[in-house]
Structure 1
Amino acid sequence: MTREKFIDFTKDHIIYLDGATGSNLVKAGMPSGVCPEQWILEHREVMLQLQKEYVQAGTNILYAPTFTANRVKLAEYHLEKNMSSMIHDLVAISKEAAASTPGHPVYVAGDITMTGEQLRPMGKMELEDLIAIYKEQILCLVDAGADLLVVETMMSLAETRAALIAAKEVCDLPVIATLTFEADGRTLFGTDAKTAAVVLESLGASAIGANCSTGPAQMEGIISDMVSVTMIPIIAKPNAGLPFLDENGTTCYNMEAEEFTEEMQVLVNAGATILGGCCGTTPEFIRQIHDRFGTETRVTAARRPEDIRYLTSERITHSFGLEDGFFVVGERINPTGKKALQAQLREGNFEKVIQFAEEQETCGAKVLDINMGMSGIDEKLCMLRALEEVSGVTNLPLSLDSSYVEVLEAALRNYPGRALVNSVSLETEKFEKLLPIVAKYGAMFILLPLSDAGLPKDIEEKKEIIHKIYDRALSLGMRKEDIVVDGLVATVGANPKAALETLETIRYCKSNGFATICGLSNISFAMPERGFVNTAFLTLAIQSGLTMAIANPSQEMLMSCALATDLLLNKEEAALRYIEYAGGVKERREEKEAELSRKLALLEQQGTKADSTDNTEVPSAVTASKDTPQINEMQEKLKTAVLKGNRNGIVKITNEALESGEKPVELLNQVLLPAINLVGEYFDQGKYFLPQLIASAEAMKNSIEVLEPLLQTGNSGEEMPVVVIATVEGDIHDIGKNLVALMLKNHGFHVIDLGKDVPQAKILETAKEHHAEFIALSALMTTTMQRMREIVAAAKQEGITAKIIIGGAVITQEYADEIGADGYSKDAADAVKLAKSLME
């Protein structure tokens, strides 16, 4: 199947997927702890019969049972060498089922999911290794005859991108993708539905959507959000409600086919046109939704407005149109003319990069430009490190800026959002090499109207260049909305008409439907009091239709005048933006004055004469709550390192604190523990997501490793309660378990981590051997949660007094109560609170 055929096949009517595989195989006798793919091959008729029933129920796209048939997952069963033959045999089962009902065309989708190994910086997996793993699986699926590919049950947008990139590079099959969202409407990694949809559509997915997690009604907002920012088909594959265990300990779901079908109406109304079922659904569910909605239902939900543009990070989307408010692309993360930043980058130090990112976001930038162009460094490696560091402290979308195509290509490949590329010109290398790369990765780009001959001689040549690049972009499958034209600002000191020529370009572009951008600094070069010239020019440019500018958002006069211009032009919500910014100006001034006073007071205490006119940059403060004891500057720096997840720099900061005379016990109790508690609060409030939580936890771990040898025995982890933690037998998922272990360690607990797929006997023996006060159990699958019940019962029978706490994606408080566990934690931060409350 080609992408074009898929578009035609799914156009304007409902398409039906299959329902659950795993829960139905368990009913058919598949035990926990086995390799699902191997069990299917050993019980071929069970799988064949199930899929034939789905086809008879009306399924149009059947998922081949290759969900975890990748090198990493199969290696857990020592079957990785059999991957190719297994995939061929598994696809053959689905192909046979697909052909079982003549006259009813059914396509087979090769099924792909997460490997369980996390990408850097959260884990140890390198992006290229992950792409290679997916390529191996995809090539086997293609060779086996899969008609299309499905990437499903994804929690990480970055890993979903890796799978799509792998598919692009080895085959031409259409790829559909679905992510799994939490109750707050975000994935476990913090991505919202709109962002996921924008990124995956721009990368070339043929259809996108959501699967698993919830019943149909709870998926409505996710589907609506995806519909509103895309033009491709949207997939809805919900569970049959919530799982529970019956009196026999069997996992069941709380929705029957009739109720499920009734609730699916809200997803069809929201705009979903590819329907199926996930955990707990059966062929009867598919039969009933097929009978209910038929094949002639036309899509009526509102889709993406044609004139809206989208830039994203991994976690948020910034949308804008030509009539929307002006915004700034922050320019400061650029070593040109910044000696201190250059020195840090040569040392591999990214503190100022992080500082500039945070400051520019605070001052109102909506996008951050990242440029690592300087001598004496590996620019590509520095760019990738900068993306990692900046993405850890801000959710703003990024503009990728380099003179070298290979640097931009590496950045686009690694960036887990939809970036702005700065820039593409008519210069041969950029036009012929860079533009196809931008199209491949689905980015937006700045069109710089230059050619190999240099600056255009007049406005007509500038227009000619713009349209040549635009035509080439269209031929590569891009749209006008993917282009931002640079007004090409010259110096008014050398060319008195420079401003007028740029304004004419901006007006021309807007009238022809192009977004525009410009850099402000050139206009005032060699003029006195350049800020006045820049600000005056910017207000004229906004009035002419300028969409955005690359500028320093900390310049209050420039930002205030820009927002005031929007206000006077009566742009939507301009008054609110101006009032909010004006109020922030006063707050920032007061904060700076207070910070300077505090710094001067510290210097005076140290007997140092300080000059109040010193222009040295003052480090940004971490605001303490009323109940938090006041901490000094060194302690504040350490606390900030935990809050910002500065894993690489915190060891140096900890050593500096010790060298300055700080006591290890005070650093632990007054700085590190309050900081990690605050991180937990931010996570609970939705301000932080899993990547930030892990980064902060690992930063704290690195600091504690420095302090631990210096702490007295009474304050070390050895005298704290012992926690034995494990993922139960048959379950090979450990993301959440690892994070719980890390957070407990950071709070002083002595954690014995037994890993994943751990037998009951080993858990209980370890608990007895180490006189554990807690046993922490994790399960991600409904098929393995029953092991928890067995462990609780066995522990009581053997007289083990350890408190048993449980958690995992399928676990609830009701289940904990039902099996007699001492507590349930919904996440890592909650596990710490629960353990402490049980100690009391």
Structure 2
Amino acid sequence: MNKKEWKELAESKVIFLDGATGSNLYKKGMPAGVCPEKWILENPEKLIELQMEFIEAGTDILYAPTFTGNRIKLKEYGLENDIQHMNHVLVGLSKEAVKRAKEKYPERKIWVAGDLTMTGEQVYPIGKMLVEELIDVYKEQVKYLLEADVDLFVVETMMSLQETRAAVIAIKECCDLPIMATLTFNDDCKTLFGTDPATAVVVLENLGVSAVGLNCSTGPDKMLTVVEEMKRVATIPIIAKPNAGLPHLEDGETVFDMQPEEFAKHMEELVEAGAAIVGGCCGSTPEHIKALTKKIGSRKPVPCNTEKVRALSTERKTLQFDLDGRFMVVGERINPTGKKALQAELREGNLDMVLQFAQEQKDNGASILDVNVGMNGIDEKEMMLKVVNELTLASDLPLCIDSSHIPVIEAALRIYPGRALVNSVSLEKEKFEKLIPIVKKYGAMFILLPLSDEGLPKDLDEKKEIIQIILQEAKRQGFTEKDIVVDGLVNTIGANKMAAWETMETIRHCKHDLGIATICGLSNISFGLPERIFVNSTFLALAIREGLTMAIANPSQNLLMNVAFATDLLMNKEEADVNYIKRVTQNPMTIVTETKDAAKEVEGSQNFDKVAEAVIKGRRKQVVDLVKEALEAGQDPQHMIETMLIPAINEVGRLFDKQIYFLPQLISSAETMKIAIDYLEPMLKKENETKLGTVIMATVAGDIHDIGKNLVVLMLKNYGFEVIDLGKDVPTELIIETAKEKNADIIGLSALMTTTMTEMKTVIERAKEEKLTARIIIGGAVITQDYADEIGADGYSRDAQEAVKLVKRLLDLN
């Protein structure tokens, strides 16, 4: 049976399954305590007879008696080495029942499902069985069932969602046949491991099963709530295969109390509630199935929902959200960047701080936990698996898997028992081609990051174009708009005055034009500015107004969180009033800011001449006219650079160091000085030119961020250095070859991401191998002095002004 045949069948009629195998075989003489599969092989006609009775009663799909035919269960009877033969023959018996029935009912089509169930082993971290080992156990049985030519698969009577996932993954990695999956639910409408009906549907439907539901544990009269909850969120058929009521002992035998007519009556209620595939479990006889098929007849099922819910989940809880719902925070703290204590713990394999951060972020209002363990000195993949396993037990918040390495993401998705969010998929060739299929395979959602191999989009139109390209490819691979969250890609307002507007327009476009959720990282917007929390909080309020769904942020920042709750309140979102009051009363705060008499500090700059003052004040439009005036007054071009421009940029550096000037002023002044130097350069006497040194600048391989690097280039040029800017995502070999060719004095390396910073070490090692004399300096948002010392760099600077001082010191120019 292929997926098309399955879809046609499921839409045409309510599908009838068979009834109980075990309890009916006991009636036919099977003793208690024996291996059912072995007894069936010894008494094949008993099984064939029973299954023919089910077919005569109206069954469309027979379950092959391979229920516990996996290696682990068979080992309990010493039969693990007979696994291939047993599965082959057991499927063959069901095929024989179908063959004999077809002679009597030639017009009917009956399918045989390969049946898988629990192994009895607990999955790590609760037990010792690793997910990968469990997948291999199921794969072995699946391959034998495929050899026996089953038409489809059923994974049934499951108590653990994680174990169900493992079985489904095993089947998907072996074939493309339809998969039905059913779990057992207790009276509290949860599985033994705490999974609720909606969570089971969200995880398994997105994992790729063709139908999902419940079986065993109770009669049909107790299944209505679970079926209704599943139907509410599912876009695939719902399965109901209950017991024939409750068991009790009668003359020493276990019997079930629900007669066929009563069973059929309650089953009709389940069909009306949305169950589209029905049958019986323990205690249900061919008479129960006959009463069921007679009651339901050939009626069509309640149509499936046409749209999926937008949801993430853990194993035990689902987080549903929509475009007009409450704003959510993705807690950013489980990330070693800039956290020395966390780095030290991770290197020791200690996860106490990770668990502490998880709990604190939940307590402070986070809805999702971002998990990034990228750092130097550890095996990122191994550490990611440890952290995901620990958080699976410790937290009920869904995880956002955050890594630049595809194998790390895939390893995390493979073991995560819920539905995760992946951070992120871009138009960079590697991620675009390889990561989308992986996200789809494991049923995750993903953050769409509008970047390409060319780097940041040059304008809003290019950003929208990148979003559209990724969206179309994702749809081609089976995703919908509800599986994607677009990153608004926040740039710093200090470097791009349109940064906030461009992000707002991206959010508006995604919500209103595309119907897609959005996310952003807040802190970029205020980089280089004083009192950043005010910029971040105001930006957040404006973004929520435009439709921002979630943001990656630190939920312990009370002002930021209170603004988010207040914005929801003002926008009249559901329960926003109660949430706001609860938030601010539990997190009282007083805002105190440090005051500085910046005006007096800047006032001292008024003593500079007009050209220098123009540089200090960043007067780009006036500086050329002022330079011309100075030239007409007899000033020498070289003298102007030495006595006006360089002192002016030094003064800007002083103001920047004292945090009186910030990134926007620094950029503006540097650009003003560049304009002046560009005008004067043709007039300079070549013999008077002094070459201070040659600097190679590059953002390392794999990293496409270059704002900070560009500013360093500009500042170094203004101070008279020859700077060769190799750009971003620069291969190590190109850096080394250029340094040789240009006889560079300094190699400057930049990186913004923890996952690319290790390339710096590669460059240093290659430089040593080539015996280069160039000194190597490093910088970037994730870089620290400790890291520079660790990898053997000659220097580290935290910003452009400090980089100039560092280069001068290394070249003895101070």
TM-score (norm 1): 0.69
Task: Give the secondary structure class of the aligned counterpart of 2:427.
Answer: coil
Asked if the contact 1:229/1:305 (under 8 Å) is kept, the reply is no
Task: Give the secondary structure class of the aligned counterpart of 2:205.
Answer: helix
Superimposed CA distance per residue, residues 416-443 of structure 1 (whole angstroms, 9 cap, x where no aligned partner)? 0100000000001110111110111111
Q: Which amino acid aligns with 1:140?
A: Y
Instruction: Report the counterpart of residue 578 of structure 2 in structure 1.
Output: 576
Looking at structure 2, the residues matched to 35 and 298 of structure 1 have their Cα atoms a distance apart, in angstroms, of: 37
Task: Give the secondary structure class of the aligned counterpart of 2:563.
Answer: helix
Say which of 137, 140, 159 aligns to 1:155: 159
What is the CA distance between 1:478 and its match in structure 2?
A: 1.0
User: 1:98 aligned to 2:98?
Assistant: yes
Asked if the contact 2:274/2:301 (under 8 Å) is kept, the reply is no
Q: Which amino acid aligns with 1:238?
A: P
Asked if the contact 1:307/1:321 (under 8 Å) is kept, the reply is no
Task: Give the secondary structure class of the aligned counterpart of 1:273.
Answer: strand
Q: Which amino acid aligns with 2:14?
A: I
Looking at structure 2, the residues matched to 489 and 217 of structure 1 have their Cα atoms a distance apart, in angstroms, of: 53
Aligned pairs (5 A) from 1:467-616: 467-511=468-512, 512-585=514-587
Q: Which amino acid aligns with 2:385?
A: L
Instruction: Report the counterpart of residue 2 of structure 1 in structure 2.
Output: 2
What is the CA distance between 1:296 and its match in structure 2?
A: 2.1
Superimposed CA distance per residue, residues 403-459 of structure 1 (whole angstroms, 9 cap, x where no aligned partner)? 100000000111001000000000011101111101111110000000001000001
What is the CA distance between 1:12 and its match in structure 2?
A: 4.8
Q: Which amino acid aligns with 2:27?
A: K
Say which of 207, 222, 231 aligns to 1:203: 207
What is the CA distance between 1:554 and its match in structure 2?
A: 1.3
Instruction: Report the counterpart of residue 419 of structure 2 in structure 1.
Output: 418
Looking at structure 2, the residues matched to 274 and 518 of structure 1 have their Cα atoms a distance apart, in angstroms, of: 42
Instruction: Report the counterpart of residue 702 of structure 1 in structure 2.
Output: none
Q: Structure 1 pair 105/260, CA: closer, same or farther in 2 (3 Å)?
A: same
Instruction: Report the counterpart of residue 401 of structure 1 in structure 2.
Output: 402
What is the CA distance between 1:580 and its match in structure 2?
A: 2.6
What is the CA distance between 1:92 and its match in structure 2?
A: 1.1
Q: Structure 1 pair 539/305, CA: closer, same or farther in 2 (3 Å)?
A: farther
Looking at structure 1, the residues matched to 123 and 76 of structure 2 have their Cα atoms a distance apart, in angstroms, of: 19
Asked if the contact 2:235/2:308 (under 8 Å) is kept, the reply is no
Asked if the contact 1:516/1:547 (under 8 Å) is kept, the reply is yes
Q: Which amino acid aligns with 2:245?
A: G
Asked if the contact 1:199/1:418 (under 8 Å) is kept, the reply is yes
Asked if the contact 2:234/2:308 (under 8 Å) is kept, the reply is no
Looking at structure 2, the residues matched to 331 and 214 of structure 1 have their Cα atoms a distance apart, in angstroms, of: 43
Instruction: Report the counterpart of residue 793 of structure 1 in structure 2.
Output: none
Say which of 297, 312, 336 aligns to 1:294: 297
Q: Which amino acid aligns with 2:463?
A: K
Aligned pairs (5 A) from 1:54-133: 54-99=54-99, 100=101, 101-133=105-137
Say which of 279, 284, 292 aligns to 1:281: 284
Instruction: Report the counterpart of residue 243 of structure 1 in structure 2.
Output: 247
Looking at structure 1, the residues matched to 484 and 83 of structure 2 have their Cα atoms a distance apart, in angstroms, of: 43
Q: Which amino acid aligns with 1:72?
A: I
Superimposed CA distance per residue, residues 347-371 of structure 1 (whole angstroms, 9 cap, x where no aligned partner)? 0000000000001111111111000
- How many correspondences in the alignment? 585
Task: Give the secondary structure class of the aligned counterpart of 1:449.
Answer: strand
Looking at structure 1, the residues matched to 97 and 205 of structure 2 have their Cα atoms a distance apart, in angstroms, of: 30
Looking at structure 2, the residues matched to 222 and 35 of structure 1 have their Cα atoms a distance apart, in angstroms, of: 32
Task: Give the secondary structure class of the aligned counterpart of 2:370.
Answer: strand
Instruction: Report the counterpart of residue 50 of structure 1 in structure 2.
Output: 50
Looking at structure 2, the residues matched to 332 and 15 of structure 1 have their Cα atoms a distance apart, in angstroms, of: 49
Instruction: Report the counterpart of residue 458 of structure 1 in structure 2.
Output: 459
Instruction: Report the counterpart of residue 739 of structure 2 in structure 1.
Output: none
Looking at structure 1, the residues matched to 324 and 308 of structure 2 have their Cα atoms a distance apart, in angstroms, of: 10
Q: Return structure 1 stretches of 4+ with deviation > 6 angstroms.
A: none
Q: Which amino acid aligns with 2:470?
A: I
Looking at structure 2, the residues matched to 460 and 495 of structure 1 have their Cα atoms a distance apart, in angstroms, of: 16
User: 1:352 aligned to 2:360?
Assistant: no
Superimposed CA distance per residue, residues 802-827 of structure 1 (whole angstroms, 9 cap, x where no aligned partner)? xxxxxxxxxxxxxxxxxxxxxxxxxx
User: 1:226 aligned to 2:230?
Assistant: yes
Task: Give the secondary structure class of the aligned counterpart of 1:450.
Answer: strand
Q: Which amino acid aligns with 1:495?
A: N
Asked if the contact 2:392/2:416 (under 8 Å) is kept, the reply is no
Instruction: Report the counterpart of residue 16 of structure 1 in structure 2.
Output: 16
Task: Give the secondary structure class of the aligned counterpart of 2:500.
Answer: helix
Superimposed CA distance per residue, residues 548-590 of structure 1 (whole angstroms, 9 cap, x where no aligned partner)? 101111111111111111111112222222223233325x99x
Q: Which amino acid aligns with 1:143?
A: E
Task: Give the secondary structure class of the aligned counterpart of 1:336.
Answer: coil
Task: Give the secondary structure class of the aligned counterpart of 1:423.
Answer: strand
Looking at structure 2, the residues matched to 585 and 166 of structure 1 have their Cα atoms a distance apart, in angstroms, of: 47
Cα RMSD of the aligned pairs, angstroms, is 1.3
Instruction: Report the counterpart of residue 673 of structure 1 in structure 2.
Output: none
User: 1:252 aligned to 2:255?
Assistant: yes
Looking at structure 2, the residues matched to 304 and 356 of structure 1 have their Cα atoms a distance apart, in angstroms, of: 38
Q: Which amino acid aligns with 1:258?
A: E
Task: Give the secondary structure class of the aligned counterpart of 2:252.
Answer: coil
Looking at structure 2, the residues matched to 191 and 307 of structure 1 have their Cα atoms a distance apart, in angstroms, of: 19
Instruction: Report the counterpart of residue 443 of structure 1 in structure 2.
Output: 444
Name whichever of 118-127 and 285-294 sits farther off: 118-127
Superimposed CA distance per residue, residues 77-98 of structure 1 (whole angstroms, 9 cap, x where no aligned partner)? 1111111111111111111212
Looking at structure 2, the residues matched to 307 and 110 of structure 1 have their Cα atoms a distance apart, in angstroms, of: 28
Asked if the contact 1:12/1:299 (under 8 Å) is kept, the reply is no
What is the CA distance between 1:216 and its match in structure 2?
A: 0.6
Looking at structure 2, the residues matched to 419 and 575 of structure 1 have their Cα atoms a distance apart, in angstroms, of: 29
Task: Give the secondary structure class of the aligned counterpart of 2:289.
Answer: helix
What is the CA distance between 1:173 and its match in structure 2?
A: 0.9
Task: Give the secondary structure class of the aligned counterpart of 1:332.
Answer: strand
Instruction: Report the counterpart of residue 183 of structure 1 in structure 2.
Output: 187
Superimposed CA distance per residue, residues 789-812 of structure 1 (whole angstroms, 9 cap, x where no aligned partner)? xxxxxxxxxxxxxxxxxxxxxxxx
What is the CA distance between 1:305 and its match in structure 2?
A: 7.0
Looking at structure 2, the residues matched to 310 and 447 of structure 1 have their Cα atoms a distance apart, in angstroms, of: 16
Superimposed CA distance per residue, residues 754-800 of structure 1 (whole angstroms, 9 cap, x where no aligned partner)? xxxxxxxxxxxxxxxxxxxxxxxxxxxxxxxxxxxxxxxxxxxxxxx
What is the CA distance between 1:183 and its match in structure 2?
A: 1.0
Name whichever of 337-346 and 494-503 sits farther off: 494-503
User: 1:325 aligned to 2:309?
Assistant: no
Q: Structure 1 pair 307/571, CA: closer, same or farther in 2 (3 Å)?
A: farther
What is the CA distance between 1:307 and its match in structure 2?
A: 7.0
Q: Which amino acid aligns with 1:396?
A: L
Instruction: Report the counterpart of residue 788 of structure 2 in structure 1.
Output: none
Looking at structure 2, the residues matched to 69 and 34 of structure 1 have their Cα atoms a distance apart, in angstroms, of: 14
Task: Give the secondary structure class of the aligned counterpart of 1:135.
Answer: helix
Looking at structure 2, the residues matched to 346 and 550 of structure 1 have their Cα atoms a distance apart, in angstroms, of: 25
Asked if the contact 1:13/1:299 (under 8 Å) is kept, the reply is no
Superimposed CA distance per residue, residues 711-743 of structure 1 (whole angstroms, 9 cap, x where no aligned partner)? xxxxxxxxxxxxxxxxxxxxxxxxxxxxxxxxx
Superimposed CA distance per residue, residues 19-65 of structure 1 (whole angstroms, 9 cap, x where no aligned partner)? 00111111111112211000001111111110000000000000000
Instruction: Report the counterpart of residue 665 of structure 1 in structure 2.
Output: none
Looking at structure 2, the residues matched to 295 and 559 of structure 1 have their Cα atoms a distance apart, in angstroms, of: 55
Looking at structure 2, the residues matched to 67 and 518 of structure 1 have their Cα atoms a distance apart, in angstroms, of: 47
What is the CA distance between 1:281 and its match in structure 2?
A: 0.4
Looking at structure 2, the residues matched to 102 and 228 of structure 1 have their Cα atoms a distance apart, in angstroms, of: 38
What is the CA distance between 1:394 and its match in structure 2?
A: 1.1
Looking at structure 2, the residues matched to 21 and 152 of structure 1 have their Cα atoms a distance apart, in angstroms, of: 13
Looking at structure 1, the residues matched to 305 and 312 of structure 2 have their Cα atoms a distance apart, in angstroms, of: 14
Q: Which amino acid aligns with 1:94?
A: S
Looking at structure 1, the residues matched to 298 and 145 of structure 2 have their Cα atoms a distance apart, in angstroms, of: 28
Asked if the contact 2:125/2:390 (under 8 Å) is kept, the reply is no
Asked if the contact 2:235/2:306 (under 8 Å) is kept, the reply is no
Asked if the contact 2:248/2:254 (under 8 Å) is kept, the reply is yes
Q: Which amino acid aligns with 2:380?
A: E
Gaps of 5+ in 1: 590-840
Aligned pairs (5 A) from 1:364-383: 364-383=365-384
Say which of 192, 196, 202 aligns to 1:192: 196
